[in-house]
Amino acid sequence: MDEQDKEMLRDGRTVVVFGSINQDLSVACERVPRTGETLHGHDFISGAGGKGANQAVAAARIGAVVHMVGAVGADVFGDALVAGLEGDGIGCACVERREDTSTGVAIILRSDGDNRIVLSAGANTALSPAQACRAVDALFERGDACVGSVFLAQGECDLDATAAAIEHAHRRGMYTIFNPAPACSLPAPTWREVDLVCLNETECEQVCGIAPVDEASSRRALEALCRMTGGAAVITLGDRGSAMLSEEGFAQLPARSVEVVDTTAAGDTYLGAFAAMRSLGFPLIDAACEATCASALAVSRLGAQASIPTSDEVTEWIIEQWQNGC
């Protein structure tokens, strides 16, 4: 997708992300420690993360106009994280600085291309339902959001605030995407305000009770998720790609073959890229294709936000893959 394509498709719609903003503290180890065991680690990384912030960065780098709703502590981590988001062109007028709590932190263990994460939510759970809804209203009042904008939320913030924000955004005419990660559920009325639910295979089983282990079970899971929302559903399946069910029909997209370095921001890159493509007017299947490629490129790099590619990088990588017969 080149700049001319983006300009032709852009009509003032944006991506608004309500979600977590974390400082990631990541270390590699040969294997995950057993109970009471201490292991030597290596290649320590301290960087920006949080599902919400990661998805906002991915959406911005793919080409969307992005605004962040969330909270950080009034500390060094918070200052740096907000500055980093602004450096990616993300509007942070609706990111609160909280004196009553610390910035969220994620402790990440990287082992054999996989990861284990422990979260300390901190300010990520500080916003109330009323505050989250007021932030949505403020974006509309300033002209930063409008009918047709994409609203993207995950499960790392206060779930009551998340549910209220999804409902409020949908009723104001926004296209709502919910990523129940970590696995979580919403009240039944809130699910009906979700236009698209996107989750991985583990979260899928926990949310709808069906493990998507093959095409048949993936279809059943997608159908169950669509019944919950009345909208569309996407399941990311790791090295098996992804599966989607919408008014466009059922589609299964294969994964792109890459050397996996770090999977930390894989799902977030997929979500952010998908939301960006949706905000730019692309059909869901095209959004899923771009998201698949962006996510593949991200896992070939180290770090969370540091691994997230730009639209140009995704395009260049696709061309390189095609030239190499991949």
Catalytic residues: 268
> Is 267 annotated as ligand-binding?
yes
> Is 200 annotated as ligand-binding?
yes
> Is 9 annotated as ligand-binding?
no
Check if the beta carbon of residue 134 is closer than 8 Å to that of residue 161.
no
Exposure string for 168-207, b = 16+ CB within 10 A, e = fewer: bbbebebbbbbbbbeebebeeebbebbbbbbbbbebbbeb
> Is 240 annotated as ligand-binding?
yes
> Is 52 annotated as ligand-binding?
yes
Q: Where do the H-state alpha helices sit in 88-179? A: 129-141, 159-171
Token duo for residue 156: 């790392």
CA 125, 192, 225, 291 torsion-angle sign: negative
209 vs 204: CA distance, rounded Å: 7
Token duo for residue 34: 């057993």
DSSP bridge pairs for 244? 234, 251
> Is 53 annotated as ligand-binding?
yes
> Is 23 annotated as ligand-binding?
yes
> Is 241 annotated as ligand-binding?
yes
- How many of the other CB atoms lie within 10 Å of CB of 215? 12
Number of H helices, E strands in the chain: 11, 13
> Is 239 annotated as ligand-binding?
yes
> Is 50 annotated as ligand-binding?
yes
> Is 22 annotated as ligand-binding?
yes
As annotated, the binding site for substrate includes: 22-24, 50-54, 156, 268
Pick out the residues of the known binding site.
Answer: 22-24, 50-54, 156, 200, 236-241, 262, 264, 267-268, 298, 301, 303, 307
Binding region for ATP = 200, 236-241, 267-268
**Binding-site residues for K(+):** 262, 264, 298, 301, 303, 307
